[in-house]
Structures are given as structure tokens and as C-alpha cells.
Amino acid sequence: MSVIVYRVWLPIEFASLNEYISAERTSKFKAAAIKREETDAVTLIAKTSGVFLRFEEPPFLWRYRWLSKNRRKDPSNICAHAVKVIEDGLVKAGVVENDGWRQVAEIRHEFVVSGGDIGVVVTLETRP
């Protein structure tokens, strides 16, 4: 049985992978600004509202529950760019030491059409 270690709600509409690629093709500075702004937003939220439920040693199972208003974007397009941004933001916030093999044992995604809320719930768990 896994144990929840950390949970945070990120009410952010991240750039889709297509939007990020388009920004890279337009200007490397535009893409860098998107990543920096989103990473900084994750860091701020993680520092102020993330909840440590108990301390455990990594590696962790990383669960992402993506909430979307509708089904206009493909699930992989929603999460492909955002996962790296989220991991970098949680490292910057001090939630995890790094986002490498030692800290990430498994990644799972769930996609939900919420009708209103946009964002993602990130949960770190011990492996069962």
C-alpha cells in the first residue's frame, strides 16, 4: 500500500506542448519566458500551499490529476511540457532534492473534464 507524502493543487493552465513548440520556433526567448513564468508559479504555490503529509525517502510515485474545461486538447498535449515545468518548480521550492531517477520511480496521469476548474493536483507517494 502506498503512502501519500506530499500533495499540491496547481490552478495553472500550462502551455500545451504545441503552444510551447510554436513559441520555440518563434523565438527561443519566448519559449524560455514561458518555462520561467510557469516554473516560478509552481515554485510559489508549492512553497505557500503544498502539504507535506509525512516524510519518506524517495523514489516516489508521482501522480498527476489533470483538470480541464473541455476535451479540446489531447491529454498528452496537456501534460507533455507541464510535467517538466512542475518537476523543476518542486525542486526549486525544495519539495524534492532533484527530479532524476533517484526521486522518480513512476509517473501516472489521470485526465478529468471538470467543466470549470483548470489545473493539476500533484501527489507524491511511496511505492506500494
Dist. CA 12–CA 10, nearest whole Å = 5
Whole-angstrom distance, CA of residue 15 vs CA of residue 17: 6
Confidence at residue 20, expressed as pLDDT on a 0 to 100 scale: 96
Predicted TM-score (pTM) of this structure: 0.92
Rounded Cα gap, residues 124 and 119, in angstroms: 17
- Per-residue confidence (pLDDT) for residue 33, from 0 to 100: 97
For domain 4-125, the CATH class is alpha beta
Each residue's pLDDT, cut to its tens digit, for the chain (128 residues) gives: 778 899 999 999 999 999 999 999 999 899 999 999 999 999 999 999 888 777 788 899 999 999 999 999 999 999 999 999 999 999 999 999 999 999 999 999 999 999 889 999 999 998 76
- Phi–psi pair at 42, nearest 5 degrees: -60, -45
Helices 28-49 and 17-26, interaxial angle, to 10°?
140
Tell the burial category of 122 from Cβ atoms under 10 Å away from its Cβ (0-12, 13-18, 19+): buried
